[in-house]
Structure 1
Amino acid sequence: MVNCGLLTNKNEPVPLKSIEVDVQVQGHVATVGSTLQYVNEEESPLEAVFVFPMPADASVCHFSAKIADKEIVAQVKEREEAREEYDDAIASGDQAFLLEESEESVDVFRLSVGSLPPGQSAAVTFVYVTELSVQADDALRFCLPAVLNPRYTPPGTGGGIVSEITSAPSDIPYSLSLTVHVSSPNPISKVESKCPLEPLQFLNTDHTNAKVSLSGGHRFDRDVQLFLYYQDAHKPTAIVEAGDPTAQTGILMGDPVVMLSLYPEFPEALMSSLSSRGEFVFVMDRSGSMDCPLHQGNNAQTRIESARDTLLLLLKSLPLGCYFNIFGFGSHYESYFPNSVEYTQETMEQAVKRVKEMRADMGGTEILQPLKHIYSQQCIPNHPRQVFMFTDGEVWNTKEILSLVKNNTDSHRCFTFGIGEGASTALITGMAREGGGHAQFITGTDRMQPKVMQSLRYALQPAVVDITEEWTVPEGMSTTRLSPPINVLFQGQRALIYAQLKGKSPSSDSQGSVTVKYRLADQEVTNKLGFSLKPAENTGLSIHRLAARALIRSLEREEQTEGVEKEALKARVVKLSVEAGVSSSHTAFIAVQKSSGEAVKGPLQRRRVPAPVMLCMNAAPRAMACFAVPQSYSFSAKRMMLGMGAAPRSMACSAVSQSYSLKAKRSAPARGVMFCSAEPSPDMLLQLDPVAQETESVPAVEDPLLQLISLQKASGCWELDSALAKVFGTTQKEVDKQTPAQVDKGVWATVLALIWLNGFKMDAQVEWQFVAMKAVTWIRNQKVVSLSECVRVGNRLLGCQVKEDILGI
């Protein structure tokens, strides 16, 4: 394979040399500092452009650059003002740096490093704050995203910054060093990662402070995930952070801010019985990139194969009497049924047959149209709509999709699953947030099934409604809520609330409290948390910045609403962003270093630094083609914008043709540079090469658990046949011979299946729990008089020792 990627005109790697990351974790919050080292090894001034991923819930709060021994700290300014200042600076020969958020997706940023003289180096540092998400096993997940997949952009649409995402060569030319300091009110149990780590070092005797680092030599070619385990993880906590002493009181940064971490506990009686009603709509990404492997290890399933197995499990786990439908989408979409149908043996068999034939053969990734169609269909009375969205998240119009979900939030709940590294966190978490559901990410060697079944449990929980909060603070104080109202609660899931505390506390030991009330299954539930108003120490204003980010995101989402004063909202966002020094969609960080250099004559050499992508060798024969990318630069109002397209070339790399339209300071033509990519977007490639859509089907090794589940009937029972006996490791003749007297063969087969699940697959119970519940309900309805005998003989046949009360029958 030709090692193309983005090279300088000396055929050398791009100028980004290394990334150093320092992470400070305080409970549920992380402050992340990244330093990027650039070197211009060319003979002419250089503009380097680095498009990179960011966690969707993060907020950039500092940006600086160090050239030689001089450091310049960036200021937050209105976006167009910052762009003008950047263009003026590099046109005058000054050194300038511009950091801006994509207008299409909040999890993509672009860093422009302007007018680096030949031989010059620069260290660029940016700092962001982010919340840590809670996992099913109560771990807090920190993710440093490295992988940024090319976002599918249909012809005729503008992708803005996201269209500049380019695939990298397989050998990423820069390395990563990462150190994490963890501080928690509760003792730290352990820190885990799929990347090699140095041993965890505890820094105090009560294990509330620790340090861990990545092992040396790590290549930043995949996301870095850390899982932090605290003792008493579900214990509610509250942190009060003092305001900035240099800021005036009355504004957010000048007043104290409280962050509450709540874990609502639902009454056990209400959670013991799950709903049997609902309309379940499964929406499956079938774009070309879904044919990529989930990870780069041996025997890795492709994304579509894992999703296919998961869909089969979901179909078997649905309760009788509900309704369902399945949609597949790519460049177009299709549904299995014209409308959602009742879940019966017949409709389940029809769906299972089509799911087994499902392929990643529908081209690009266009989510908007199938969602519009789903929302246009009339809801079924007494069956709440639950949308399950499976995608690798490679889209360009994230904000438009989120606006659509938000506008339909009253008619459904949305559960999302980001499949594979590089899935857009803005899309996956945003759809779940706006749709009142829950988001899951499946990366590396993660199994999709347990995560999806956890979301199904949430979907079957009674909906929490009428959520209200009541704040109590001492006389002379008041609270202003900064985060959006809570619109969804699930058993065991965390809710973070930010509020500004106005006025003065009468004493250092004053207390406040918040009471959350809601209705669940027609019962009123109350959770209360008290907290000290004494500010915590050494928090570094991270909670203020997260609170400002929460308020900014709320205002930005409000801008998408019809009939609002968009300019007034934009002005509020810009004012708050500048005051708090945090990023937003309407502002950018700008830093300029004045120099005595001459004004630049003609355009700078622009070098695009590649971000890592998951290599997808299944979608098409990549080694056989390179893509030449015609680039067109337009300087409208002095701003250089880059548009990208791609066309196939056979067996060769071609030089890039460039054309320029200059309306301001730059006028000299530029010579062509070589830009080739051996790894174009899988979706783009499948759009261009119809041969790539003929994906060969590779027979998968049958998983006995999935095989057993696939044999279950919609009612919950199993039939006694050779396929079921094979799962048990015996023959149908032997199973028939052992059947207890006067016991129906269906009852016998179902009891054996339950014994097998409990005897051999307890480690995967979360995957088969709903299958077993249906089986138990079916057996109880048969009113069998000799169940104890069935269990005794079944244990002997299968070599198990499962007790009858464990089976629940």
Structure 2
Amino acid sequence: MIVPITPLRPEECVPDPDAGLGTLRTERGNLPLESLDVTAEVTGLIAAVEVTQGFHNPYDLPLEATYIFPLPPRAAVTAFRMEADDRVIEGLLKERGQARADYDRAIAEGKRAAIAEEDRPDVFSIRVGNIVPGEKVRVRLTLSQPLPYEDGAATFRFPLVVAPRYIPGTPLDDAPAGPGVEPDTDAVPDASRISPPVLLPGFPNPVRLSLAVNVDPAGLDLREMRSSLHVVSIDGTNVSLQPGERLDRDFILRLTFETSTALAMVPDDEDAASGEGTFALTVMPPAGEAVRTPRDVVLVLDRSGSMGGWKMVAARRAAARIVDTLTADDRFAVLSFDTVVEHPEHLPEGLVAATDRNRYRAVEHLARLDARGGTEMLSPIERALGLLTDGERERVLVLVTDGQVGNEDQILERTGARLAQVRVHTVGIDRAVNAGFLGRLAGLGAGRCELVESEDRLDEAMEHIHRRIGAPLVTDLSLKADGFELVPDTVTRAGSLFSGVPLSVFGRYRAANGAAAATLTVRGLAAGGQPWEREVTGAASGNPAVRAVWARARLRTLEDRYAMGDRTLEETIVATSLKYGVLCRFTAFVAIDTKVVAEGGPQHRVVQPVEPPSGWDAPAAGGGQIGFGAQAMAASFAPAAPAPFAAPAGAPEGFAGAPPQSPVLRRPPAPGPRPGRGFTAPARPVPHAFESVRPQLVAELERLRAAEALPDPALAGYLADLGSRLAVLAGHLGGHQELADLARDLVAAERPGADPRGLWRRALTLLTHLTGGDTRPPGVLGTHLQPRDAGGRSTRAFWKRP
């Protein structure tokens, strides 16, 4: 049979500008998130931001909506509010398990409720339950955000999409921790909470975006405002997005003005009699050039699938520029990675002299790299750290990546202690970069994090990178207070002073009775080892954001230490979060209405799909490699069938419900262990065997013996650093009591009254004993053990499994 095919006349097929692959349209819409409104007030180097998310129930049944979204990684979330049916419910900050239990109970009772949780420094989720048919609900988040400043410009960056992240490891048998599209694995036990479904390309814009920034010009010589990724309208000092923009890339606004050295002191309102408060110190770097010392530099370049397109071009150029900064006195190595780690074929493995020939071969290798495969980041970082062992040279690790991995905590647990012994610079290349993780790595290594969001800004960013890879202007910074007291263990790390980048330090203080003035002296070593200092006089301030920004930084430090193995910090983290009213990974905001609106609870659950990040490769037609997530997996374009997402056994946590049947890009879950992994160690906090740390203890013992010849001040500094490393090893073992006790005392070696020689002898005795054939099990396993139910599944809350 022959069937004629005739073309349609133009008037018979009018194009729909909103139509696209997978489009699903109804008169009432099809997705719960209707609008996102962001308003920011910038004052100096801090922005006060309010985020309003508007939800709508287009269905005929009570709805629970879930939205997984990003926030700036250094922002402090200090308030949460739900508004519906002319009712306003203020959220309460509670321990996370308690908040989740309260939310689940309220939903089951038919009450309207909402909960806000943090899963990464820059990834959050909101659930709004019992939205009745046709109802609109708004939730508001209030946050304070510090602005990084360098080379005469501050940057306000607000992320708008959670980009897909590579998830390594073997899938778990436990019930999913969340409703995302990725299975939880032993390397990323909460992968299902950071992997929202992704809309297919061409889907109509589902969310109305409004973003406005007002800059307070008081005291500023504001010379220029420019947006690098969006078209904006500028009216005086007000900047706003043009209508119709999609949530597919970061909003970035750069403000050019001169800042100055200052010390802002904000007293506590609730307990003025205590004399306590929070300070913010800004110190401009001195003029002059740093003196370079011979360096060992390892360049680690991400060539995974998510780096396709313009990002790979930019990464190759950035890496080549870094190689060009090296001098004949330096040694270097180049490691490129996806699921495997490679080095230039015409160069030997390990560090080589930075001769013209070797640098040319390295650049030649970089020019041939293209994007492929997964993002197995742990193995190349470990290999790089294995090369940076010569303490007589400046040791530098440079990581060039988009940072789109899910196993951030596993990487910190395995490498955090060693990263703190080298200088780490990170170069993030993406329009939706994982800035939170890259900032954490750079912070551990007292280096810089440079973000490149477009090809247009690459040359400017390369100039910054060129200086960052060079030596800092002032190192070994310390603070001395006069007229007030620094509260111990509250001051953020001072690090080093780099050209064009002011030093920013936050901390808590206690006022001295009768002091005429408060001054803070910053001391360090300038070029050639010359002493350098700057005295700054304090000025009273009433800006409450200073306290919130400090609390967020303090919580970040504690959470990183927890991820690196110190499981004893859980209570401290929760107490700090609740005391200062700042959301963290161990707490949550919950808002519960007293009115019952839906008997029996929500009968439909939807997870809001997110936009494909701008600049990422779209999935190939008919399957094949997918740019999203950087995984070499075939795409599944069929909507997932509804399936329950039960809470982990024995715990009241939920995200009970199913992903929506909507036009989203999904990846099929792996049925078993994934092949091609560069490592097998789990990220869950299980107690590690003592033998796993014996080689490092042997190395520490050798260095300890060599340190005997140091003068007392230098020995005290060495012992304090040793204490921080031993604390991580103790946590890695599950809480080895002898190591933990020694580490605590060594950390205090630089305090007045300490006995460095006595501490050295004590450390020598214990490390000799531990490495001399004693295979006793660690002293205390405590919270490092995973509670299991009768079926062998973990009952430990997912946010406690770094």
Residues 1:593 and 2:593 aligned together: yes
Q: Which amino acid aligns with 1:213?
A: S
1:618 and 1:385 map into 2 onto residues whose CA distance is 36
2:452 and 2:489 map into 1 onto residues whose CA distance is 33
8 Å contact from structure 2 (residues 327, 355) kept in 1: no
The 3-state SS of whatever aligns with 1:408 is helix
Deviation at 1:11, TM superposition (A): 9.4
Q: Which amino acid aligns with 1:108?
A: V
Deviation at 1:427, TM superposition (A): 1.3
1:307 to 312, 315, 325: 315
Q: Which amino acid aligns with 1:346?
A: R
8 Å contact from structure 1 (residues 172, 221) kept in 2: no
Deviation at 1:59, TM superposition (A): 1.3
Residues 1:214 and 2:241 aligned together: yes
The 3-state SS of whatever aligns with 1:374 is helix
2:136 to 116, 121, 137: 121
1:552 and 1:616 map into 2 onto residues whose CA distance is 33
8 Å contact from structure 1 (residues 422, 613) kept in 2: no
Residues 1:350 and 2:377 aligned together: no
1:516 to 512, 522, 525: 522
Deviation at 1:414, TM superposition (A): 1.0
Q: Which amino acid aligns with 2:199?
A: A
List runs of 5+ in structure 2 lacking aligned partners: 1-17, 171-184, 677-802
Residues 1:241 and 2:273 aligned together: no
The 3-state SS of whatever aligns with 2:199 is coil
Q: Which amino acid aligns with 2:576?
A: L
Deviation at 1:345, TM superposition (A): 3.6
Deviation at 1:386, TM superposition (A): 1.2
Residues 1:199 and 2:234 aligned together: yes
Which residue of 2 is the match for residue 172 of structure 1? 205
Which residue of 1 is the match for residue 559 of structure 2? 556
Which residue of 2 is the match for residue 461 of structure 1? 471
Q: Deviations over 1:762-802 (max 9, x none)?
A: xxxxxxxxxxxxxxxxxxxxxxxxxxxxxxxxxxxxxxxxx
8 Å contact from structure 1 (residues 303, 420) kept in 2: yes
The 1:391–1:44 alpha-carbon spacing in structure 2 relative to 1, beyond 3 Å, is: same
8 Å contact from structure 1 (residues 236, 529) kept in 2: no
1:304 and 1:370 map into 2 onto residues whose CA distance is 18
The 1:625–1:307 alpha-carbon spacing in structure 2 relative to 1, beyond 3 Å, is: closer
The 1:418–1:649 alpha-carbon spacing in structure 2 relative to 1, beyond 3 Å, is: closer
In the TM superposition, what are the counterparts of 1:150-549 in structure 2 within 5 Å? 150-156=164-170, 157=185, 158-160=189-191, 162-170=193-201, 171-183=204-216, 184-194=218-228, 195-201=230-236, 210-230=237-257, 232-233=258-259, 235-244=260-269, 246-247=270-271, 249-250=273-274, 255-265=276-286, 268=288, 271=290, 274-275=292-293, 277-292=294-309, 302-336=310-344, 337-361=348-372, 363-377=373-387, 379-380=389-390, 382-461=392-471, 464-473=474-483, 482-503=490-511, 506=514, 510-533=516-539, 535-537=540-542, 539=543, 541-549=544-552
2:296 and 2:437 map into 1 onto residues whose CA distance is 23
Residues 1:37 and 2:63 aligned together: no
The structure with the larger Rg is 1
Deviation at 1:648, TM superposition (A): 4.1
8 Å contact from structure 2 (residues 166, 406) kept in 1: yes
8 Å contact from structure 1 (residues 626, 653) kept in 2: no
The 1:121–1:11 alpha-carbon spacing in structure 2 relative to 1, beyond 3 Å, is: closer
Q: Deviations over 1:524-568 (max 9, x none)?
A: 3333243344x334x2x1111111112222222232455x4x34x
2:434 and 2:528 map into 1 onto residues whose CA distance is 37
1:38 and 1:331 map into 2 onto residues whose CA distance is 40
1:666 and 1:407 map into 2 onto residues whose CA distance is 32
Q: Deviations over 1:455-508 (max 9, x none)?
A: 23233225744322111116xx6655633231232123122222333247759x
8 Å contact from structure 2 (residues 319, 366) kept in 1: yes
Deviation at 1:9, TM superposition (A): 9.5
Q: Deviations over 1:83-115 (max 9, x none)?
A: 11111111111111110100xx21100111111
1:219 and 1:410 map into 2 onto residues whose CA distance is 39
Deviation at 1:411, TM superposition (A): 3.7
Deviation at 1:75, TM superposition (A): 0.7
8 Å contact from structure 2 (residues 646, 657) kept in 1: no
Deviation at 1:317, TM superposition (A): 3.6
8 Å contact from structure 1 (residues 18, 36) kept in 2: yes
Deviation at 1:225, TM superposition (A): 1.0
Q: Which amino acid aligns with 2:524?
A: Y
The 3-state SS of whatever aligns with 2:254 is strand
List runs of 5+ in structure 1 lacking aligned partners: 202-209, 293-301, 630-644, 690-809
The 1:63–1:530 alpha-carbon spacing in structure 2 relative to 1, beyond 3 Å, is: same
Residues 1:59 and 2:76 aligned together: yes
1:672 and 1:16 map into 2 onto residues whose CA distance is 14
The 3-state SS of whatever aligns with 1:320 is coil
The 1:353–1:218 alpha-carbon spacing in structure 2 relative to 1, beyond 3 Å, is: closer
Residues 1:611 and 2:610 aligned together: yes
Please, what TM-score do these two structures have when normalized by structure 2?
A: 0.71
1:393 and 1:666 map into 2 onto residues whose CA distance is 29
Deviation at 1:406, TM superposition (A): 3.2
8 Å contact from structure 2 (residues 116, 589) kept in 1: yes
1:646 and 1:110 map into 2 onto residues whose CA distance is 27
Comparing 137-146 with 454-463, greater Cα deviation is found at 454-463
Which residue of 2 is the match for residue 93 of structure 1? 110
2:56 and 2:619 map into 1 onto residues whose CA distance is 35
Q: Which amino acid aligns with 1:255?
A: E
2:436 and 2:658 map into 1 onto residues whose CA distance is 38
8 Å contact from structure 2 (residues 526, 532) kept in 1: no
1:242 and 1:521 map into 2 onto residues whose CA distance is 37
8 Å contact from structure 2 (residues 519, 537) kept in 1: yes
Deviation at 1:429, TM superposition (A): 1.0
8 Å contact from structure 1 (residues 167, 680) kept in 2: no
The 3-state SS of whatever aligns with 2:456 is coil
1:106 to 121, 127, 130: 121
Pairwise CA RMSD: 3.5
Q: Which amino acid aligns with 1:107?
A: D
Residues 1:23 and 2:40 aligned together: yes
The 1:442–1:522 alpha-carbon spacing in structure 2 relative to 1, beyond 3 Å, is: same
Which residue of 2 is the match for residue 573 of structure 1? 573
8 Å contact from structure 2 (residues 109, 596) kept in 1: no
2:661 to 657, 668, 674: 674
Q: Which amino acid aligns with 2:554?
A: L
2:497 and 2:659 map into 1 onto residues whose CA distance is 56
1:666 and 1:440 map into 2 onto residues whose CA distance is 37
1:480 and 1:314 map into 2 onto residues whose CA distance is 39
Q: Which amino acid aligns with 1:593?
A: D
The 1:544–1:672 alpha-carbon spacing in structure 2 relative to 1, beyond 3 Å, is: closer
8 Å contact from structure 1 (residues 6, 677) kept in 2: no
The 1:399–1:185 alpha-carbon spacing in structure 2 relative to 1, beyond 3 Å, is: farther
Number of equivalent positions: 626
The 1:670–1:280 alpha-carbon spacing in structure 2 relative to 1, beyond 3 Å, is: closer
Deviation at 1:314, TM superposition (A): 3.1
Residues 1:148 and 2:162 aligned together: yes
2:469 and 2:444 map into 1 onto residues whose CA distance is 15
Please, what TM-score do these two structures have when normalized by structure 1?
A: 0.71
Q: Which amino acid aligns with 1:515?
A: T
2:20 and 2:675 map into 1 onto residues whose CA distance is 21
In the TM superposition, what are the counterparts of 1:679-758 in structure 2 within 5 Å? none
The 3-state SS of whatever aligns with 2:34 is strand
